[in-house]
């Protein structure tokens, strides 16, 4: 008989389940204090076993929080998963500003830390130095790609080694986009990319007859304003230039004119407080909430402690755990703003005849996650323990330091697009199944939840958080390692996705409303 702790983790004294640290065979006997249990089936790491008898309708807890309700009966040692654990509505106690933990003050040495970044004329600081070709409408997407193709990456790096590349930001909207928030979202996203600290200059291309007019985005977003030292943007429409080829030539000439300005940009020492971190998770598994996510939470808290900004997102993936965030909101108003977004999502999925518990995905479930409540509690760990200081709409400009939240869908490219458009200059992405996501123009650090994944997909994973489960590192040690890696990446170290050239196809603004 083996001690339970050698095989599985009980994360909270009130938990009804333990999460397996390694695969087990049916019949394995485990001791848990004065109690014993027998594993009922062959199970993979990350899956859950029951610790006590629970009957139909009883709540099941992990992290000390409800993750679902029993269907049938769960005996000690039973596999707890989709066959016997279901989602039901239950009330959460919403409190506001009741769990505010202020960070430990910085030492003099910590206050003096810097990273080499690109100081832009508006005072923002970039971690990369790109030029952009931005489509205001899908009708100009091909033209934008043609312009980018005019600049051979090998020749560009040889002739302008300080320019990270030329990116084409294309999408599937902009013609008959709905008025109101759908229109505003697209406008915020494109303006956010145009103003992004990692973009040294840009050309914006439209068709001419679309609903999402360049003239409107220029006026309402103030894109015509050029600060001293900035490169002036070029705005073109295919119809006004006389067709595809003429527009390609004009845009190519405009990008060529921007190259000397971008090439002249240099990194300089910048305080860590100028960093804005986007946090996402994709392809989560049963270990995500034990290793990578809480370790990233420690790194997030450390960045906030240094005066930086850390942004949590994916509203459908905090569902069922939002009451833990409202307790950390510095004011009731901020907490209520978060809840308003949660209620919007409840109504949104209801109006489409869907359920929020369609998430977790099949891959999540294969990795041991059963319900959205369980997934959300693990995902929330990315946000550490810092006070929640603001809640932003999708792609809304992020204006202040600290730990904040942005309302986004859970779909990774759409979520990260909103975060980057809001101003995030680097990203941290946790995965237990093996997401290969890249995120130009912001570098994205990939954090594996388990050692098996890290070793199997080593060309894609930057950080192994599985050492926490292996027992070779503590949560604090891995969190500190992530923090240092983020600073190195901000200063120019390439991520695994960057070294493979990933990130050109992940730009995906959130498209709301009907298509007609």
Encode pLDDT of 444-487 as tens digits: 999 999 999 999 999 999 999 999 999 999 999 999 999 999 99
Digit-coded pLDDT (tens) for 328-370: 999 999 999 999 999 999 999 998 888 777 668 899 999 999 9
Is 110 a member of any domain? no
Is 453 a member of any domain? yes
Q: What is the pLDDT of residue 257?
A: 97
My answer on whether 259 and 280 are in the same domain is: no
Digit-coded pLDDT (tens) for 484-515: 999 999 999 999 999 999 999 999 999 987 76
Is 418 a member of any domain? yes
My answer on whether 207 and 297 are in the same domain is: no
What is the C-alpha separation between 370 and 361, in angstroms, rounded?
Answer: 9
My answer on whether 489 and 385 are in the same domain is: yes
Q: What are phi and psi of 422, to 5 degrees?
A: -75, -10
Peptide bond into 360 cis (omega under 30): yes
My answer on whether 178 and 279 are in the same domain is: no
Burial of 294 (0-12, 13-18, 19+ CB in 10 A): buried
Q: What is the pLDDT of residue 353?
A: 86
Q: How many CB atoms within 10 Å of residue 331?
A: 14
My answer on whether 295 and 387 are in the same domain is: yes
With 70 as the cut, is the pLDDT of residue 316 above it? yes
With 90 as the cut, is the pLDDT of residue 176 above it? no
| 242-to-206, 207, 245 alpha-carbon distances in Å | 12, 10, 8
My answer on whether 433 and 447 are in the same domain is: yes
Q: What are phi and psi of 493, to 5 degrees?
A: -60, 130
Lowest mean pLDDT among 180-184, 311-315, 360-364: 360-364
My answer on whether 169 and 191 are in the same domain is: yes
pTM of the complete model: 0.96
Q: Which helix (H) or strand (E) holds 477?
A: helix 475-490
Lowest mean pLDDT among 204-213, 218-227, 271-280, 447-456: 218-227
Q: What is the pLDDT of residue 165?
A: 97
Is 455 a member of any domain? yes
Q: What is the pLDDT of residue 360?
A: 82
Digit-coded pLDDT (tens) for 12-36: 999 999 999 999 999 999 998 878 9
Percent of the chain with pLDDT over 90: 91
| 238-to-43, 133, 147, 205, 221 alpha-carbon distances in Å | 58, 14, 13, 7, 22
For residues 3-10, average pLDDT: 94
Of the candidates 268, 299, 321, which is a domain's last residue?
Answer: 268
Instruction: For residue 231, give the CATH number of its domain.
Output: 3.40.50
For residues 307-312, average pLDDT: 98
Digit-coded pLDDT (tens) for 233-279: 999 999 999 999 999 999 999 999 999 999 999 999 999 999 999 99
Whether residue 371 contacts residue 87, with contact meaning beta carbons closer than 8 Å, is answered with yes
My answer on whether 421 and 277 are in the same domain is: yes
Instruction: For residue 52, give the CATH number of its domain.
Output: 2.30.130.110
Q: What is the pLDDT of residue 433?
A: 94
Per-chain mean pLDDT for the chain = 95
Q: What is the pLDDT of residue 501?
A: 94
Q: What is the pLDDT of residue 276?
A: 98
Digit-coded pLDDT (tens) for 388-445: 999 999 999 999 899 999 999 999 999 999 999 999 999 999 999 999 999 999 999 9
Half-sphere exposure of 100 (CA within 13 A, CB side): 12
My answer on whether 291 and 251 are in the same domain is: no
Is 357 a member of any domain? yes
Strands (E) in 43-129, as ranges, are: 48-50, 59-62, 65-70, 79-80, 85-86, 114-119, 125-126
For residues 158-167, average pLDDT: 97
Is 131 a member of any domain? yes
Q: Which structural domain range is residue 484 located in?
A: 271-499
What is the C-alpha separation between 209 and 220, in angstroms, rounded?
Answer: 18
Is 510 a member of any domain? no
Q: What is the pLDDT of residue 189?
A: 98
My answer on whether 148 and 57 are in the same domain is: no
Q: What is the CA radius of gyration of the chain?
A: 24
Of the candidates 268, 302, 334, which is a domain's last residue?
Answer: 268
Cα pseudo-dihedral 173, 176, 178, 180, rounded to 10: 90
My answer on whether 61 and 73 are in the same domain is: yes
With 70 as the cut, is the pLDDT of residue 516 above it? no
Q: What is the pLDDT of residue 468?
A: 96
| 417-to-84, 313, 427, 447, 490 alpha-carbon distances in Å | 37, 11, 11, 19, 18
Of the candidates 42, 66, 86, which is a domain's last residue?
Answer: 86
My answer on whether 418 and 292 are in the same domain is: yes
Is 507 a member of any domain? no
Look at the chain and report how many structural domains it folds into.
Answer: 3
Q: What is the pLDDT of residue 383?
A: 97
For residues 379-384, average pLDDT: 97
What is the C-alpha separation between 458 and 487, in angstroms, rounded?
Answer: 21
Q: Please, which residues have CB within 8 angstroms of residue 476's CB and are 6 or more apart in sequence?
A: 298
């Amino acid at each position: 008989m083996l001690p339970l702790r050698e095989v599985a983790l009980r994360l909270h004294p009130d938990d009804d389940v333990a999460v397996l640290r390694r695969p087990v065979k049916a019949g394995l006997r485990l001791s848990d204090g004065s109690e014993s249990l027998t594993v009922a089936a062959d199970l993979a790491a990350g899956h859950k076993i029951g610790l006590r008898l629970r009957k139909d309708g009883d709540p099941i807890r992990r992290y000390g929080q409800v993750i679902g309700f029993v269907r049938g009966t769960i005996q000690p040692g039973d596999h707890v998963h989709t066959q016997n654990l279901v989602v039901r509505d239950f009330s959460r106690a919403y409190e506001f500003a009741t769990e505010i933990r202020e960070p430990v003050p910085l030492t003099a040495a910590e206050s003096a830390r810097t990273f080499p970044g690109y100081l832009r004329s508006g005072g923002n600081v970039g971690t990369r130095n790109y030029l952009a070709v931005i489509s205001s409408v899908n009708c100009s997407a091909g033209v934008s790609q043609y312009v980018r193709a005019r600049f051979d990456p090998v020749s560009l790096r040889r002739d302008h080694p300080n320019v990270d590349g030329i990116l084409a930001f294309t999408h599937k909207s902009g013609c008959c986009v709905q008025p109101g928030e759908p229109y505003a979202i697209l406008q915020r996203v494109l303006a956010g990319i145009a103003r992004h600290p990692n973009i040294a200059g840009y050309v914006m291309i439209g068709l001419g007859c679309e609903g999402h007019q360049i003239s409107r985005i220029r006026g309402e977003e103030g894109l015509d304003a050029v600060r001293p030292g900035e490169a002036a943007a070029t705005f073109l429409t295919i119809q006004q230039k006389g067709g595809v080829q003429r527009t390609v030539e004009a845009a190519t000439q405009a990008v060529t004119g921007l190259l000397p300005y971008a090439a002249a940009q240099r990194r300089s020492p910048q305080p860590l407080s100028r960093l804005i971190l986007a946090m996402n998770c994709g392809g989560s598994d049963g270990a995500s909430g034990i290793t990578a996510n809480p370790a990233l939470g420690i790194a997030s808290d450390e960045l906030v402690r240094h005066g930086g900004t850390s942004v949590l997102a994916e509203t459908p993936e905090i569902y069922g755990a939002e009451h833990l965030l409202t307790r950390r909101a510095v004011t009731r108003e901020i907490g209520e703003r978060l809840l308003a977004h949660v209620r919007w999502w409840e109504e949104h999925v209801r109006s489409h005849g869907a359920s929020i518990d369609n998430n977790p995905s099949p891959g999540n479930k294969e990795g041991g996650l059963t319900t959205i409540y369980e997934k959300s509690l693990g995902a929330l760990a990315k946000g550490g323990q810092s006070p929640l200081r603001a809640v932003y709409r999708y792609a809304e400009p992020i204006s202040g330091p600290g730990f904040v939240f942005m309302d986004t869908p859970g779909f990774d490219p759409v979520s990260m697009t909103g975060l980057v458009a809001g101003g995030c200059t680097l990203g941290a992405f946790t995965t237990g199944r093996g997401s290969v996501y890249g995120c130009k123009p912001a570098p994205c650090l990939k954090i594996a939840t388990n050692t098996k994944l890290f070793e199997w997909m080593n060309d894609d994973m930057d950080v192994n958080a599985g050492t926490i489960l292996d027992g070779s590192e503590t949560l604090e040690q891995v969190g500190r390692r992530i923090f240092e890696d983020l600073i190195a990446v901000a200063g120019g170290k390439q991520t695994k996705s960057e070294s493979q050239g990933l990130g050109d196809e992940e730009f995906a603004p959130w498209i709301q409303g009907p298509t007609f």
